[in-house]
């Protein structure tokens, strides 16, 4: 099928056919590796999610609505029913604000794609090659459906929709559907059912409910694929139907052609960023810039007179004046993140503890020496200047964050992130085995060999 004919095809039907027929041999080598990178990063974030204040609440919810079962919860020795495991794993991956982001659509992908793939894959005990294909299909569908929502008019963004809960169910349905072996018709039904559950808005920003969009999105994907596998029918063209289709309802029409352009040859999942630091998406370039000027200045924190940051309008609106009165908001607060990075020369999970947030010395440093300003000249990135007590000024503009496709995390970077969060839970020896398992994912004969390593020994 030519690129022209693909772009003119019904997007839902074409995506369903693609998911139903894609095989391991269709994945370029770089796509296979990138999919493993993305999965490995999701595991690192899930282990880090344990200990956050919301996880016990999600676990309680899972117990009440799903109950016990045989599905693995990453980093836990308690097994759950598939729906419960999916909800918990979805929240774990996003809990510390360290999960991936597809910047063109501002969507976190793995919280919705990995949990349903893991639950269904474990239940059927598939091989690693099939699991890898399912993850790639889920990530590609998520990002491509998202591309269709964003047009030059910016309708989707202006309406305040939050993409993970809206497009994530499609990716989860693709990953689970591929593992379940849905044919093209059943996969199309799964997408229709995913569309019926598409929801989430930025009104929740700054509260844990913004992350529940990811957890619920993962569950929606599982429900959609499972119900479609039972023969449940849904809309023929959930994406491009002019009356109630996703693109019409959420984006005033969107760009349906962007969903399919280059499908199977130009892999959109390669554009997924992996966050190097546990803080907000728009603050990744901030940390990059602050670390750069600290390297230029090469002075201790007590020799810093001030650090001034200029943020684009949207970043300033979301993060520039965010209070840091608790852990979640601290990860979204430009003043707090700038302050602790300037003081410590690093950005780590332990800087977002209750004790550090309340620390008088930290708060005095932020209030006295950190200035955050909107910069109307900036479209992306951040401008940073640091002045020392000796009056020497250093400045930079960070337009690309470490972890973006232009400056990607290496496997060693992801492994360091993984070990820091996983080893306290599963131990160094088991972490070694899990690293090897993920590295050779396509060669794993049964997924149970991987899932047992996800739990404490």
- Give per-residue burial for 385-400: e unless 16+ CB within 10 Å, then b: bbbeeeeeebebbbbe
CATH code (residue 171) = 1.10.4100.10
The band of 9, judged by pLDDT with boundaries at 50, 70 and 90, is confident
pLDDT number for residue 457: 87
The domain in which residue 437 lies consists of 3-276+411-454
CATH code (residue 391) = 3.30.1330.120
* pLDDT tens digits for range 317-339: 999 999 999 999 999 999 999 99
The band of 8, judged by pLDDT with boundaries at 50, 70 and 90, is low
* Structural domain contains residue 419: yes
* pLDDT tens digits for range 436-448: 999 999 999 999 9
Residues 82 and 222 in one domain: yes
Mean pLDDT of 153-158: 89
pLDDT number for residue 154: 87
pTM of the model: 0.95
Count of structural domains within the chain = 2
Residues 311 and 449 in one domain: no
Nearest-angstrom CA–CA distance, 336 and 368: 12
Using a CB cutoff of 8 Å and minimum separation of 24, what contacts does 180-185 make?
180/120, 180/124, 180/225, 180/226, 180/229, 182/19, 182/20, 182/225, 182/228, 182/229, 183/20, 184/13, 184/16, 184/17, 184/20, 184/21, 185/16
Strand partners, 388: 304
Residues 319 and 209 in one domain: no
Residues 79 and 44 in one domain: yes
β pairing state of 382-388 and 272-273: unpaired
Residues 128 and 202 in one domain: yes
* pLDDT tens digits for range 410-453: 999 999 999 999 999 999 999 999 999 999 999 999 999 999 99
- Compute the mean pLDDT over every residue in the chain, rounded to the nearest whole number: 96
Residues 307 and 417 in one domain: no
* Structural domain contains residue 403: no
* Structural domain contains residue 32: yes
* Structural domain contains residue 235: yes
């Amino acid at each position: 099928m030519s690129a022209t004919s693909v772009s003119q095809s019904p997007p839902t039907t074409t995506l369903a056919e693609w998911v139903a027929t894609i095989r391991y041999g269709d994945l370029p080598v770089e796509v296979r590796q990138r999919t493993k990178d993305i999965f490995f990063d999701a595991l690192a974030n899930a282990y880090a999610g344990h200990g956050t204040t919301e996880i016990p609440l999600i676990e309680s919810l899972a117990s009440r609505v799903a109950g016990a079962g045989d599905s693995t919860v990453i980093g836990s020795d308690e097994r759950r029913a598939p729906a419960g495991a999916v909800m918990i794993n979805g929240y774990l991956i996003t809990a510390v604000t360290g999960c991936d982001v597809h910047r063109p659509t501002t969507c976190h992908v793995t919280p919705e794609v990995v949990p349903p793939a893991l639950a269904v894959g474990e239940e059927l005990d598939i091989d690693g090659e099939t699991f890898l294909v399912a993850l790639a299909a889920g990530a590609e569908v998520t990002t491509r459906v998202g591309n269709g929502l964003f047009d030059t008019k910016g309708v989707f963004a202006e309406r305040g929709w939050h993409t993970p809960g809206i497009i994530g169910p499609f990716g989860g349905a693709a990953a689970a559907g591929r593992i379940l072996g849905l044919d093209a018709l059943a996969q199309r039904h799964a997408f229709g059912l995913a569309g019926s559950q598409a929801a989430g808005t930025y009104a929740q920003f700054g509260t844990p409910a913004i992350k529940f969009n990811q957890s619920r999105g993962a569950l929606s994907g599982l429900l959609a694929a499972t119900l479609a596998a039972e023969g449940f029918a849904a809309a023929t063209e959930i994406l491009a139907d002019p009356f109630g289709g996703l693109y019409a309802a959420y984006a005033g029409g969107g760009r349906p052609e962007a969903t399919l352009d280059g499908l199977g040859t130009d892999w959109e999942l390669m554009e997924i960023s992996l966050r190097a630091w546990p803080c907000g998406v728009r603050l990744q370039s901030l940390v990059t810039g602050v670390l750069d000027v600290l390297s230029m200045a090469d002075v201790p924190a007590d020799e810093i007179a001030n650090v001034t940051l200029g943020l684009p309008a949207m970043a300033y609106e979301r993060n520039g004046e965010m209070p840091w009165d608790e852990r979640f908001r601290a990860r979204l607060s430009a003043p707090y993140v700038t302050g602790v990075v300037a003081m410590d020369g690093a950005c780590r999970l332990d800087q977002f503890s209750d004790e550090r947030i309340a620390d008088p010395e930290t708060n005095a440093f932020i209030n006295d020496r950190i200035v955050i300003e909107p910069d109307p000249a900036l479209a992306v990135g951040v401008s940073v200047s640091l002045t020392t007590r000796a009056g020497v000024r250093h400045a930079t503009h960070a337009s690309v964050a470490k972890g973006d496709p232009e400056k990607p995390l290496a496997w060693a970077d992801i492994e360091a992130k993984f070990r820091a969060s996983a080893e306290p839970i599963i131990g160094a020896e088991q972490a070694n085995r899990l690293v090897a398992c993920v590295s050779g994912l396509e060669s794993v004969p049964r997924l149970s060999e991987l899932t047992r390593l996800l739990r404490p020994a």
